[in-house]
Chain A
Amino acid sequence: MRKLILCLAGLMMVGPALAAGGGDVVLKHKDWSFSGPFGSFDQAAMQRGFQAYVEVCSGCHSLDYVSFRNLADLGYNEAEIKAIAAQYEVEDGPNDDGDMFMRAALPADRFPAPYPNKNAARAANNGAYPPDLSLIAKARANGPDYLYSLLTSYVDAPGDKEVPDGMYYNSAYSGHLIAMPQPLYGDDVTYADGADSSVEAISADLVSFFAWTAEPALEKRKRTGVAVVAFLLILSAMSFGAMRFIWADVKK
């Protein structure tokens, strides 16, 4: 047992070391509704985050792995999803004449990307590629806190720091120089539910949304997990009891 404990201790040392990203940045921590073994998504926040993504982020950032039909998880009904999808155009074809054509998006379609390919995205953004946001919350160490910190940490550069053209100062970004201009200034979106639209509030809503796009099965996973772990604990206790019974007549 001692060995096992040592091994686990070793793992605990190594695990965070693996996850560690930019060491010079302290992230702002928030208690997200989706963290912890019983965590779940906040639908209202996700809907607001979705609105903010559409109005602020989607001009440059794609959402490649998310389909309109997935929006049902945010609490939209079928008609609402159809209406949202219909605002987008996707390429289809070839038609009977062999040509590709544009049509209104359907719930089964994925969100169309703002640029046709990576090179076009780079060309339009000073050579910096705006990453796809579907998995962003899992593709960065401490994703939710990282995103929240990044969005809320555009501050004036300290006097001795030179900020080149096309770069911006962000105290939460590793190296502090980021190619993305400050996306949020407060009141960037007007929420239908009258929720707070400060930079911090919109950032938190966006994080809720991106936590979902990165891991849509999160709620199901945690709910299943509670049941499975409970089952296995009972099974462990029962098999321990059974083992004691069977071994009872063995002379030690």
Chain B
Amino acid sequence: MSASKFSNPVVRWIDHRLPIFSFLEHEANEYPTPKNLNYFWNFGSLAGISLVIMIVTGITLAMSYTAHVDYAFESVERIMRDVNHGWLLRYIHMNGASFFFIVVFIHIFRGLYYGSYKAPRELLWMLGVVILLLMMATAFMGYVLPWGQMSFWGATVITNLFSAIPFVGESIVTWLWGGFSVDNPTLNRFFALHYLMPFLIVGVVILHLVALHRFGSNNPLGIDTRGPQDTLPFHPYYTIKDFFGLSVFLTFLAAAVFFFPNFLGHPDNYIPADPLQTPAHIVPEWYFLPFYAILRAVPDKLGGVLAMFGAIAILFVLPWLDRSPVRSARFRPLFKIFFWILVIDCIVLGYVGAKPAEGMYLLVGRVATVWYFVHFLAILPLLSVIETPRPLPQSISTPVFGGGGGLAGAVAAPKEKL
């Protein structure tokens, strides 16, 4: 912390007492980043910016929203019609949620493909799973707030999941509702929690970043950086790259907000909630569809709920299921194939989740659900034993492959740092 780092005397004065400039300099300017990151590494910063967009539009919406069953729907319509730019803020918030999930899903699958969850980044990965869980809870509660038909029935169905818990299930559901059905107390607490949880996410995101900066980003080769020749300072190289990614992301978001704002929504949510009439075909928001399909694939109530939560819980132990020392799928020919099968499996689950749970859809949903768990619980542990990885390059800047190749060389490289 030499004071001579900054020429500006005011900056120097502040930094001596509150080393915020040193911190920024260290974490943004000097922070060494692998030089070979591809565009999939843009999605982390995009997720962070999505969170900011959601919080900013959310706070402004909260200024005009009324969390009461008699006024909620109407207050949202007032935002859409009378509040200055209210329609814009609401559509950004609505579509922003979907885009946030798109970005986060791509971010997660990037981590899966390049083995970013492996040592020494296990906690970084687990914090990410916590963020995903918090996001899902936040999104679910947010969807209840407009108090349309889908809001109401979505809230009813999802809160009823907890009734599957043996012995105390009913009491928990009553406690969640604050009554004997989804009603005004439920709406009120969901609003309070929907406002709170994004800030919890911010907290976990900060931990996620601290953990990230401990060892730095993984990279497409999945090997550790070996010195300055392998890295670039984050600024200006990755600031401009993230800025470019952000521009493209915002173009897509704007196209949705301005031209197809209701494409990802459901028409029934423009009908005020009616506790006496369930819509013919209720589906959750698209980002919950794969989990919804897993829920419905199991013919037992408790079993379905456990499978659904298990689908996420399994991600927590992923670093210990996949024991292969090679991170990147580029050097794991079999893993690569199974990775793409998993991607297709998730898309199939999402598709099935949107369809009625009957006939073919139910069958396909069951097969896809079983495959999801088989992938994590059987295939990944098995692959770590039987797969022969391709030879790893010696470093990022020297694309020379390790002599001899085979498993021995591949194991040696990543273990060095442990």
Contacts and interface: CB of A to CB of B under 8 A. Distances in A.
A250 B232 contact: yes
Contact of B267 (A11, A139, A240): A139
A15 B39 contact: no
B87 A135 contact: no
B247 A236 contact: yes
A143 B263 CA distance: 12
A72 interface: no
Interface stretch (A47-55, A149-157, A217-225): A217-225
Interface string A60-73: 00000100001000
A62 B232 CA distance: 64
Contacts of B102: 7, 11
A225 B257 contact: yes
Q: How large is the interface on A (under 10, 10 to 19, 20 to 34, 35 or more residues)?
A: 35 or more
B320 interface: no
A108 to B, nearest CB: 11
Interface in A197-252: 214-217, 220-222, 224-226, 228-229, 232-233, 235-236, 239-240, 242-243, 246-247, 250-251
Contacts of B255: 225, 229
A239 B244 contact: yes
A218 B281 CA distance: 28
Given A13-B347, A19-B267, A236-B244, A246 B250 contact: no
B268 interface: yes
A37 interface: yes
B258 interface: yes
Given A11-B286, A242-B240, A139 B271 contact: yes
B254 A4 contact: no
Contacts of A220: 87
A220 B88 CA distance: 10
Interface string A149-184: 000000000000000000000000010000000000
Contact of A235 (B232, B236, B247, B271): B247
Q: Tell me whether chain A's interface is mostly helix, strand or loop, or mixed.
A: helix
A14 interface: yes
A141 to B, nearest CB: 5
A243 B109 contact: no
B240 A239 contact: yes
Contacts of B39: 1
Interface in B238-267: 240-241, 243-244, 247-248, 250-251, 254-255, 257-259, 261-264, 266-267
B387 to A, nearest CB: 21
Most buried by A among B244, B262, B266: B244
A140 interface: yes
B271 A65 contact: no
B81 A138 contact: no
A192 interface: no
A243 B244 contact: yes
Interface residues of B, number: 54
Contact of A65 (B81, B267, B350): B81
Given A232-B254, A243-B240, A222 B81 contact: no
B283 interface: yes
B259 A225 contact: yes
B259 A222 contact: yes
B354 A17 contact: yes
Interface in A1-45: 1, 3-4, 6-7, 9-11, 13-15, 17-19, 21, 37
A131 interface: yes
A217 B81 contact: yes
Interface of B: 35, 39-40, 74, 77, 80-81, 87-88, 91, 102, 105-106, 109-110, 113, 232, 236-237, 240-241, 243-244, 247-248, 250-251, 254-255, 257-259, 261-264, 266-268, 270-271, 280-281, 283, 286, 289, 343-344, 347, 350-351, 354-355, 397
> Nearest 7 CB-CB pairs, A to B?
A225-B258, A139-B270, A10-B347, A236-B247, A239-B244, A232-B251, A17-B354
Interface of A: 1, 3-4, 6-7, 9-11, 13-15, 17-19, 21, 37, 65, 70, 131, 134-135, 138-141, 143, 174, 214-217, 220-222, 224-226, 228-229, 232-233, 235-236, 239-240, 242-243, 246-247, 250-251
6 contacts: A135-B271, A139-B267, A216-B81, A217-B80, A242-B240, A250-B237
Given A13-B351, A135-B77, A214-B270, 19 more contacts: A3-B113, A3-B343, A7-B106, A11-B102, A14-B289, A14-B354, A17-B354, A18-B264, A19-B263, A21-B281, A65-B74, A70-B81, A131-B271, A139-B270, A220-B87, A239-B240, A246-B236, A250-B232, A250-B237
